[in-house]
Structure 1
Amino acid sequence: MSNTWNKLKKSLSVKFSSQSSSMSLEAARSSEISEKDFRASTPTSSSSGLRLSRANSCSGRSSKRTCAICLGNMKPGQGHAIFTAECSHAFHFNCIASSVKHGNQLCPICRSKWKDIPFQAPTGVIDPQLNGIGRARVAPLDSPLDEFHASLHRQLPQLPLLYAEPHHFSDDEPLLNTPIPDSTSPSLSAHPVPTVRAFPEFPAVPATANRHAFSVLIGVKAPALPDNTRHHDHTPIDLVTVLDVSGSMAGTKLTLLKRAVRFVIRNLGPADRLAIIAFSSTARRIFPLCRMSDTGRDHATTAINSLRSTGGTNIVEGLKKGVRVLEERRERNPVASIIVLSDGKDTYNVSNQNHRQSPHNQASPNSRRVLDYLSLLPSSICPNNSASREEGRIAPFPVHTFGFGLDHDAAAMHAISDASGGTFSFIQSASIIQDAFARCIGGLLSVVAQELRLTVSSIFPGVCIGSIPAGKYSSEILNQGQQGLVEVGDLYADEEKDFLVQVSVPVFSAEECGERVPTTPLLSVECSYKDPLSQEIVQAESKIVEIRRPGVLSSEDNTMSLEVDRQRNRLWVTEGITEAQGMAEKGNLEGAQSILAARRSALLASASAQAGDGLCNWLEAELKEIRDRMASQELYEETGRAYVLSGLSSHSWQRATTRGDSATHTMVFNREGENQNMSGVMGYETPSMVTMVMRSQTINIRAGSPEQAHGLNRSCSLGVPRRG
């Protein structure tokens, strides 16, 4: 009997060895082994009373080294993880995890029911910096997969990826199918169209005189949101947040960043979609582009709460992944934008040495460094990197950058926002991150016009358009000065854009005067835009600019338009700040201070400043603050550069940014959207921005944040911080 049993064991061993060498592991994973199969391959008893499985698992050495599923070798050191169940039977982890995945929850050998089962986590959940550690886990039996993802994160708090990242980001959630409201509904499509404004520098020019540089202010003002508009009744947006979670963000910074993004999540509507990119040494999409329904908000909040700080700072990779989310989405909301926040310099794509120069150097290496940095970015946010002219004409995705703290790369962040059509904000104090985000989305959630264009045409012989300084907006003069174009793009509710047009005014022939005082029509101003909901091109009512041509001017004829003068002051001050910033970059702080002082003197002597204009008061305060931040090279590099660049971003786009600690008084608007606080600090804020910041601060007060409570109604404006 003993001899027969030995022969049987030997025969079975040879057979199993042959099967093991020929069976592939992939085939074993994909096959579902039934209870009958297990009993056939591992018999429990025989007519003679022999327990073959017992002998095979306990007595025979080969059984402990053979996986009962794939029959492969389980000898340690062979490159396979080993799973030992509570019943003491062992298997290749991959084999038993695959078996469990197909519904087998009993031990393949002894048929005992396990309390814990092996689970293979998705590969996308693994942080590349952990080199795959923690992929193999054991999940409680009968627990939902979503709950296990949460438990997995609790076990491994370093892992921010609760959602697998696919190779192609075409997994965006479908848009909310809502019909375009009719004209009787309080919707954006029922809003009044933007209104065109125009003011000549003087109401009259002598008939016998000509002017080679006569200024005309042209502008457009967006309609206000109706009073009965609900919070979520706005043009839907696809928003991608690209967040720095490097090691320097640990502690309070990351806590406040999470709180700020949760505020954004709560204030997005069910038609809005949000995606979240986290970057440190690498970038990863931790949340796909999903609608912010109740479920979407909950899932997005879970993803944000999972963030942990570690590693270096790779802003370029974060931006590339954020752009991919918008480029590869299957469906598109009318508005799309990217928000980027970082507290450090890109440690992977740029040299971060001290770039200060002596006053004798003409070129700044900082500017060359920034140009090299921009060349690394996708053409979707930096059109200059386009391979073809046609591709370069496609409007980029606006990137609104937020430089946080004293160590971020303000020059690079400002350049990214400028190239893409976004804004750059300087968040000096950690306590106002949420307010800064609130101000930004207050505008993004109130878009009432897109692809807005202003067209200026000469309508009188001899009237020629000389120049249109438009900041960062694209402008051009066509037909030998007979026509000018300004591409404004998106317009927020209540937002205003103003541009000075320089024209030549010809002599008016005396024979044409007659008995009445003649007039010279100078320009026709037209405005066209795309309705963001209907996607139809709409033409606003045009405006004609004309002046009187008397033989002799009266005292009223010599009165300059305050609207023109205040815009001239804004351009004059902005040019001075730009020039001063260039000198500061070269280390010539004395020259920078001199320029700022001269611009301040000219500003105070202007007609609008003498009339107590609020914009002039704000510009004067801004000049003083910049001078204070340029008191030393150390102070300039610490906060001055970021403060100046955020201000230039605001002026260039005529759009609100957060600057410094923003501890200034808010503006007050009446029902018509007009500013009533003309004697105080002013900026480019809209009522929607102010409302959103107020909402942010109210939440912080309820949460018991004393520093936010102190700043309520004081940090809503974009002006200059007032230091105690």
Structure 2
Amino acid sequence: MGSRWQKAKMALSSHLCAYVPRTLDDTSSSSAAESVPAGRISGSRLAMEPDFRPSTPTPSSSGLRLSKSSGKSSKRFCAICLGTMRPGHGHALFTAECSHIFHFHCIASNVKHGNQVCPICRSKWKEIPFQGPTADVVHGRSRINPLDCPQEEGWMRILHGMPLPRASPDSGQQHNPVFHASEPNTFNDDEPLDSSLSELLGRDYTESTEGLTKTVEMKTYAEFPAVLASENCDSFTVLIHLKAPSATSRQGQRNHRSVFQSHHERAPVDLVTVLDVSGSMAGTKLALLKRAMGFVIQNLGPSDRLSVVAFSSTARRLFHLRRMTDSGRQLALQAVNSLTSSGGTNIAEGLRKGSNILEDRREKNPVCSIILLSDGQDTYNIAGGSQSRQGPADYQSLLPVSIRRSSQQGQAQVPVHTFGFGADHDAASMHSISESSGGTFSFIEAENVIQDAFAQCIGGLLSVVVQELQVWFECTTPGVIINSVRSGSYASGVSEDRKKGNVDVGDLYAEEERDFLVDVQMPACCTTISTMQNEFEVLGVGCVYKDPVLQEHVNLDVNKVVIQRPRTISPQQKIACLEVDRQKMRVKAADAMSEARGLAEQGNLAGAVCVLGNQRKALSESMAAQGEDRLCIALDAELKEMQDRMASRQVYEASGRAYVLSGLSSHSWQRATARGDSTDSGSSVHGYQTPSMVDMLMRSHTSFISSGGQRSRPTRPPIKPSRSCRGTLQAR
């Protein structure tokens, strides 16, 4: 009878998640207790320990692990369903922070009903398992579940390698020394720059670039090599092509490491990350965000400085702007690892605090930027969110003055690179913030590629080789005037007499390229000239920029655009320049995307699809596309993807708007953005990627795999292609 009572009591305790102390009767029937498998008893170690209390888990490098006194058989059975737990038996396993293991479907069901504590040791979990159907429908779109079985264990233990916040010896509560109890009114407590590092930076940079070409490469292309002397040309296009110099360690071939490992050979960065920790970020999202931030922290150098702002209903600065030395990284990781999610979404407040940190700093690194991530709509400042088309316009008035892009030359600009996370973020407002500040907008559709999106962004920020780049051009021949300048989102201007113009480019990453189209008007040449003297100067082009490391200004020699003005033209001279044609196609494709987006917002999805289809048809007929130009093939694939994401209002609201806006951001700034699945190497998403971005992405992939994760391509449900006005471009 005693043996049966012992079995019943221990089985009951396992189902009720309760600790049942042993009685005197229990000690007299130890053999009976031993006949019950230890794994079927919630507190299996109770029969082994004389004080009848569960032992305390001991910490290790991979998280909290149980003490060795625990019997191995306790890991063979799930304490919830009492079923066996063995790898390869078709059931995913979940390892909790306290190191107890359960069937994933059992514990996920337990958590779903509000139980967020361990059923065995009753410890409260910071990260809880999330279970949903493989294709959870959110706004008509399949929600990506990164916990693809059987990899849930790796995802949920994603942060166990990070240091935990220190505990105060005087109290049982957690205390993190990097959090300020009360924030100062002025954020002028930034950690001073290390002067010795600055001297080393300049010396190493000079040595590594000695004898190398480290200036911006500038080329010009005329639309046609010749125009009849008797012809009044109302529209003639000149292409200005710029390419930034290579990163020093790559160009000098001093080693095979990426530029990020040579911290003394690049311009250091002041970076502020503004992170959404509202209630919607709970669970897997927050875990993946912490991991992505851990990757950013580990890849910053000792001369780079970082500050983190977390916002929900309000915003708080986790720690002051500090250098990422070994101790700085440790404190930063502790701060990020201690984040919890709750409350609403106050994006504007987070941005204000982030901009104030950079605005109030006493010392400044040459490069500065803000990274903003949010998965929801601002519930405190913009009524209606993305459903209200007045949202973006209203939002610009809420942005701090220091963030807004200024048209005045020489005035500092703080670019905000925004990341819309998931299907419910306000893409219109996030795009407006980035556009107003000179940053880019990225769409993170699949949750498990957030680290890649961050990696691509900092891959650029950690390779800035050109700053304050100004391009100017002038008509030197009488009668030649400037009609227009196609520079995307870059500020440009033309003088009143239409003889001079300029483009404010700003910063360039290593090996980054820019292309601008200048349309001019040319008069007929009435003067009789010989065959050898028929050169006609259309434009004179030059540029000036600042070297961010040496803090010196560099002026490039004037590049003259010269064509022929003969009395007769040969068939060869009538062939348009391929480089000019492909860039004209790029600009027209971006215009079509913008027009289609406007129609889609008005509810005219059929018209939007038709505009994109017409552009695909025009693209296929262009000289560049017929020459199998890779840019044109990529543009066609992107236009087709946008057509598919405008198949219905439901699809457009879920992902189409964000995808189109991210594409517009990429083309207007000629800079890579993340959108959709960033692991898709065949997409036009990578059209503007630099070698430094690719290097950092490879590092992100490597770190993910080495940490035990399995990178699988996230998928979204198939979208029925639209059939109206569809053009085709076949890649040969």
TM over 0.5: yes
Q: Whole-Å Cα distance in 2 between the matches of residues 440 and 408 of structure 1?
A: 19
Q: Verify the 8 A CA contact 1:517 1:550 in the aligned structure 2.
A: no
The 1:158–1:176 alpha-carbon spacing in structure 2 relative to 1, beyond 3 Å, is: closer
Q: Deviations over 1:117-139 (max 9, x none)?
A: xxxxxxxxxxxxxxxxxxxxxxx
Secondary structure of the residue that 2:180 maps to in structure 1?
coil
Query: How much does 1:172 deviate?
Result: 0.6
Q: Is the 8 A contact 1:221 1:496 kept in 2?
A: yes
Aligned residues of 1:383 and 1:393 also touching (Cα < 8 A): no
Distance 2:622 2:169 in 1: 66
| 1:705 pairs with one of 684, 709, 725 | 709
Residue of structure 2 aligned with 1:259, choices 287, 291, 302: 291
**Inter-partner Cα distance in structure 1 for 2:479 and 2:170:** 73
Q: Which residue does 2:593 correspond to in 1?
A: 577
- Residue 183 of structure 1 and its aligned partner are, at CA, apart by 7.2
* CA RMSD after TM alignment: 2.5
Answer whether contact 1:235 1:446 (CA < 8 A) is retained: yes
Secondary structure of 1:261's match? helix
Distance 1:157 1:580 in 2: 52
Deviation at 1:553, TM superposition (A): 1.1
Structure 2 residue corresponding to 1:568, chosen from 584, 588, 592? 584
Listed one character per residue, the Cα deviations across residues 554-591 of structure 1 (whole Å, up to 9, x for unaligned) are 12101111110011001101001100000101111011
3-state DSSP class of the match of 1:325?
Answer: helix
CA-to-aligned-CA distance 1:662-694 (integer Å, 9 cap, x gap): 232279xxxxxxxxxxxx885111000011001
Deviation for aligned residue 1:246: 0.7
Q: Check whether the contact 2:385–2:426 (CA below 8 A) recurs between aligned residues.
A: no
Q: Distance in 2 between matches of 1:456 and 1:415?
A: 30
Q: Report the number of matched residues.
A: 538
Letter of the structure 1 residue corresponding to residue 247 of structure 2: L
Specify the code of the residue in structure 1 equivalent to 2:327: T
- Measured in 2, the distance between the counterparts of 1:402 and 1:313 equals 15
**TM-score when normalising by structure 2:** 0.70
Query: Is contact 1:181–1:189 with CA below 8 Å preserved after alignment?
Result: no
Does the 8 Å contact 2:280/2:375 carry over to 1? Answer: yes
- Among 344, 354, 379, the residue aligned to 1:322: 354
Give the structure 2 partner of residue 689 of structure 1: 693
**Contact map agreement 1:157 1:308 (CA 8 A) in 2:** no
1:225 to 247, 255, 271: 247
- Give the structure 2 partner of residue 203 of structure 1: 225
Partner of 2:676, secondary structure, is: coil
Q: Alignment partner for residue 595 of structure 1, among 590, 594, 611?
A: 611
Are residues 1:609 and 2:625 paired?
yes
Distance across 1 between alignment mates of 2:353 and 2:579: 44
Gaps of 5+ in 2: 1-162, 716-732
Tell me the amino acid that sits aligned with residue 217 of structure 2.
T
What is the one-letter code of the residue matched to 1:175?
L
Matches within 5 A, 1:260-275: 260-275=292-307
**Is 2:196 the partner of 1:174?**
no
Give how far 1:549 is off: 1.4
Mapping for residues 99-178 of structure 1, pairs under 5 Å? 149-151=166-168, 162-164=179-181, 165-177=183-195, 178=198
User: Distance between the aligned counterparts of 1:462 and 1:273, measured in 2?
Assistant: 53
Q: 8 Å contact 1:198–1:543 — kept in the other structure?
A: yes
Output the amino acid matched with 1:599.
Answer: Q
More displaced, 699-708 or 423-432?
699-708
Does structure 2 conserve the Cα–Cα contact (< 8 Å) formed by 1:447 and 1:493? Answer: yes
Secondary structure of the structure 2 residue equivalent to 1:528: strand
Aligned partner (choices 434, 440, 454) of residue 423 of structure 1 = 440
User: In the superposition, relative to structure 1, how do residues 186 and 570 fare at CA in structure 2: closer, same or farther (>3 Å)?
Assistant: same
Tell whether the 8 Å contact from 1:242 to 1:319 is kept in structure 2 after alignment: yes
Give 1:548's aligned residue. Answer: 564
Secondary structure of 2:203's match? coil
How many angstroms does 1:160 deviate by? 10
> Quick one: which of 489, 494, 504 aligns to 1:477?
494
Distance, in Å, in 1 between the alignment partners of 2:210 and 2:374 is: 34
Matched AA of 2:493? E
Other-structure match for 2:453: 436
2:425 matches 1:408? yes
Contact 1:277 1:285 in 2 (8 A): yes
Q: Conserved in 2, the CA contact under 8 Å of 1:700 and 1:709?
A: no
Q: Is the 8 A contact 1:160 1:306 kept in 2?
A: no
**1:537 is the counterpart of 2:553:** yes
Change (3 A) 1:588 1:629: same
Is the contact made by 2:410 and 2:468 (CA closer than 8 Å) also made in structure 1?
Answer: no
Deviations 1:682-724 (CA, angstroms, capped at 9, x unpaired): 511100001100110111111222235899xxxxxxxxxxxxx
1:179-578 equivalence runs, <5 A: 179=199, 180-181=202-203, 184-186=206-208, 192-226=214-248, 227=250, 228=254, 230-232=261-263, 233-352=265-384, 355=387, 365-366=388-389, 368-383=390-405, 394-511=411-528, 513-516=529-532, 518-578=534-594
Q: Deviations over 1:282-316 (max 9, x none)?
A: 10000210001111111111111111111111111
| One-letter code aligned to 1:693 | L
The range that moved more, 190-199 or 572-581, is 190-199
Deviations 1:456-501 (A, max 9, x none): 1112111111110111100000141111100000011100110010
Using the alignment, how far apart are the partners of 2:415 and 2:650 within structure 1?
32
8 Å contact kept, 2:479–2:522:
yes
Inter-CA distance 526–314: structure 2 relative to 1 (3 Å threshold): same
SS state at 1:468 partner: strand
For each residue in 1:311-369, what CA deviation from the matched residue of structure 2 results, as whole angstroms up to 9, or x when unmatched? 111111100000110011110000110000000011111112673xxxxxxxxx51x22
Cα distance, 1:162 vs. partner?
2.9
Deviation of 1:210 (Å): 2.0
Q: Please tell me the residue identity of whatever aligns with 1:276.
A: V
Q: Distance in 1 between matches of 2:361 and 2:291?
A: 27
* 2: CA distance, partners of 1:238 / 1:589: 43
Post-superposition CA distance 1:441-461 (Å, at most 9, x none): 000011111110000111211
Is the 8 Å Cα contact of residues 672 and 686 (structure 2) preserved in structure 1? no
In structure 1, what residue type is equivalent to 2:556? A
After TM superposition, give the deviation of residue 152 of structure 1 in Å. Answer: 8.3
Residue 654 (structure 1) shift: 0.4
Which amino acid in structure 1 is aligned with residue 453 of structure 2?
Answer: A
Q: After the TM superposition, which of the residue ranges 371-380 and 604-613 deviates more from structure 2? A: 371-380
Q: Which is further off, 680-689 or 217-226?
A: 680-689
Percent identity over the alignment is 52
Mapped to 2, the partners of 1:261 and 1:147 lie a distance apart of 15
Residue 657 of structure 2 corresponds to residue 641 of structure 1: yes
Unaligned runs of 5+ in 1: 1-145, 356-364, 668-679, 712-724
Q: Please, what TM-score do these two structures have when normalized by structure 1?
A: 0.71
**How far apart are residue 394 of structure 1 and its match?**
2.9
SS of 1:258's partner is helix
1:157/1:306 contact within 8 Å kept: no
Asked if structure 1 preserves the Cα contact closer than 8 Å seen for 2:273 and 2:372, the reply is yes
SS at match of 1:480: coil
Query: Following TM superposition, by how much is the alpha carbon of 1:530 offset from its aligned partner in structure 2, in angstroms?
Result: 1.1
The residue type paired with residue 508 of structure 1 is C
Q: Distance in 1 between matches of 2:394 and 2:441?
A: 19
Distance 1:268 1:159, change over 3 A: closer
Cα contact 1:313–1:346 (8 A) shared by 2? yes
